[in-house]
Chains A and B, each alone.
Chain A
Amino acid sequence: MFSFELLLDAVVIGVLLGCFYAAVSLGLSISFGLLDVPHVAHPAFLVLASYAVYFLNEHYGVDPLLAGLLITPLFFLFGLFAYRLYYETFERRGSDAGVRGIAFFFGIAFIIEVLIIMQFGVDQRSVTADYVGKAWRIGEMRIPFRLVVAFVVAAALTILLTLYLSRTFMGRAIRAVAQDQEALRLMGANPIRIKQWAFGIATAVLGIAGALLIIVAPVEPTLDRTYIGRTFCVVVMAGLGSMSGTLVAAIILGVAETVVLTLFGASWAPAISFAMLLGVLAVRPQGLFGRRS
């Protein structure tokens, strides 16, 4: 059963799949990783974005990636609003939102699920585009275009976000707010505005990530539940708030999953990737590229 050719294939596909995981996790890496918001509704926002993309694609024939770009401003505003709501209910009242924050976002996630079901029904949906359903041949190897698109988008997003966070004033302010809110306040900046802005960006990124989600595989309204584990796994394994770390961690997971799926007992694949996460957490609780020691 084992062959190096298959292993190579699995690694390549795994890297691409990992990039996809990174793309859907980057937003969470900001909202949870940098802002400490326990955003368990992140995957629900993601699925919502996928349905928005589906709607544009189905009714107006808009290319899914373009549709993803088109909805980012809306999602940015949505993010600003969501953070405001979260801030008013939790952070303003006291420091410890913790478990109540989780419950709050679970509630939001359920509400989004039901709204999607009411609008679109329970059947799965997918999009059409030229790059869905074709593959790129390299010798014996075939690489689905869908995954290549995921790779390119994930790489672009990671680079853009890393640059944004390190080079621009606002980006640095976001990182500062993650480290020491009080210091920033003393310097005369309003940490709440900065966090709101950051949450907006984290949500805007979901517009494109949602497009990828529905390009890579069909979506259905309760898909978010599978992705809670996966996205948090990536972000925590990376170490909170590191964009490039998120990419690397996602790729590690993608490769591990695909190699097990392809070469060993397929049914053990989920156990392997989450066992890796546990291992990483046990050895390096701050994650692979953690900002805290």
Chain B
Amino acid sequence: MKRNGMYFWGGAALFLAGALLMTQVIGNQYPFFACYVILQFIVLAVAWSILGGYAGYVNFGTSAFFGVGVYTAVFLFKATGVPLAVQIAAAAAVGALMGFALGLLTLRMQGIFFSIATIAATIIIETAITNWRYVGGASGIQLQRPAVMAPFDNYVEMLFFVQAVMVVLAVAISRYIQNSWIGRGLQALKDDELAAECTGVPTLRLKLTACVISGALMCAAGAPAAMYLQYADPASAFNLNYSVSALAMSLIGGTAHWAGPVIGAILLGVTQQLLTVTISSEVNVLVLGVMLVLFVVAAPEGIVGLIRKVRSKRNEGEG
């Protein structure tokens, strides 16, 4: 276990160092634009999976959290001009509050009822933002980036690195949860909530924890998007695409292990980025559809499940 942890933190440090090195060495901007989007989806998928994967509560409202993150940043930037880090921290705080409210919903609703409630909440929040003139309302709002901070010489490179840091943070949290009593509790709750409750698992506290963490991460992932796009409009910020992608990426990767959503997000994110600049037509949507169907049919436990199967078979062969 301990050695595992060392590997993990070593890997994370390498990843961040690599990202930082990339910003200093590579002059071509496109990798940063494209990788930013992929990193953003990793955070979303990992965050979604903390609630949806470990606890089995399917949140359809990823786009609501993402959008609120975007608009928290927009509001703060317009009102006070605070730096990016503050915007992200504030978005995380708002997301935690939203997650808490979501957690209270789970008191009364389970299964698909919970999912429908998250859709309803998304529409309500989007409508509220659409009617909020200060942040641009339905017409959207254009923003001007402030000057970039050292050691970066370009704002998008900085955003890329910030998002990379968030990936490490999200994955570390997700990994911690999985290996701690929280993860085991959530697992018990997923299998049978009533039974877990009876055997003394503090289900409400666990669910609230999962919701708060998941919500905070999703909102935080959305916050830099305001500066990335330098523009925000409700229809793009609350796009159904975020909800479907977070769910699809987690499932394709597998929800039983923290690495699942990461693998799924990388696979699907890279595929989408590639398709956008190759096929670039409605066939793009078709590929997403076919991938979803194929994976849930052929690999019910996701890619992580496939890897486990292969491994256990090999072990059998050896033994």
Contacts and interface: CB of A to CB of B under 8 A. Distances in A.
Q: Tell me if chains A and B make direct contact, with any CB pair below 8 A.
A: yes
Interface of A: 32, 38, 89, 93, 98-104, 106-111, 113-114, 117-118, 225, 228-229, 232-233, 236, 265, 267-268, 270-271, 274-275, 277-278, 281-282, 285
Given A103-B251, A104-B292, A271 B123 contact: yes
Given A114-B285, A268-B131, A102 B109 contact: no
B112 A267 contact: no
Contacts of A32: 112
Contacts of B52: 99
A228 B287 CA distance: 21
Nearest to B289: A110
B117 A104 contact: no
Contacts of B283: 114
A238 B313 CA distance: 48
Interface string B285-308: 110111111011100100000000
Of A107, A229, A275, A277, most buried by chain B (CB within 10 Å of CB) is: A107
A93 B301 CA distance: 12
A207 B131 CA distance: 37
Interface residues of B, number: 42
B123 A229 contact: yes
Given A104-B292, A108-B289, A232-B116, A117 B282 contact: yes
Interface in B230-285: 240, 244, 247-248, 251, 255, 282-283, 285
Contacts of A228: 119
Contacts of B282: 113-114, 117-118
Given A102-B247, A114-B283, A229-B120, A281 B288 contact: no
Contacts of A271: 123-124, 127-128
Given A111-B286, A229-B119, A103 B292 contact: yes
12 contacts: A98-B58, A99-B251, A99-B255, A100-B300, A107-B288, A111-B290, A114-B286, A118-B282, A229-B123, A271-B123, A271-B124, A277-B117
A110 B289 CA distance: 5
Contacts of B297: 89, 104
Contact of B108 (A102, A107, A285): A285
Contact of A281 (B108, B138, B296, B300): B108
A110 B124 contact: no
A261 B130 CA distance: 16
Contact of A106 (B113, B116, B138, B244): B244
Contact of A278 (B56, B120, B127, B248): B120
A103 B248 contact: yes
Contact of A107 (B116, B117, B131, B290): B290
Interface string B84-128: 000000000000000000000100110111011101110110011
A285 B296 CA distance: 29
A99 B255 CA distance: 11
Given A99-B58, A109-B289, A233 B296 contact: no
B296 A113 contact: no
A106 B292 contact: yes
Contacts of A109: 289
A109 B295 CA distance: 15
Contacts of B121: 274, 278
A288 B128 CA distance: 26
A106 B248 contact: yes
Contacts of A268: 127, 131
A97 to B, nearest CB: 9
A244 B116 CA distance: 21
B300 A282 contact: no
A282 B240 CA distance: 24
A249 B251 CA distance: 33
Contact of A274 (B113, B120, B290): B120
Contacts of A233: 116, 119-120
B289 A114 contact: yes
Contacts of B286: 110-111, 114
B53 to A, nearest CB: 9
A114 B130 CA distance: 29
Contact of A98 (B111, B120, B124): B111
A111 B108 contact: no
* Most chain A C-beta atoms within 10 Å of own C-beta, residue among B116, B128, B244: B116
A250 B130 CA distance: 25
Contacts of A281: 108-109, 113, 116-117, 120
Interface in B73-87: none
Contacts of A229: 119-120, 123
A232 B122 CA distance: 14
A278 B124 contact: yes
B116 A110 contact: no
B289 A111 contact: yes
Contact of A104 (B115, B127, B131, B293): B293
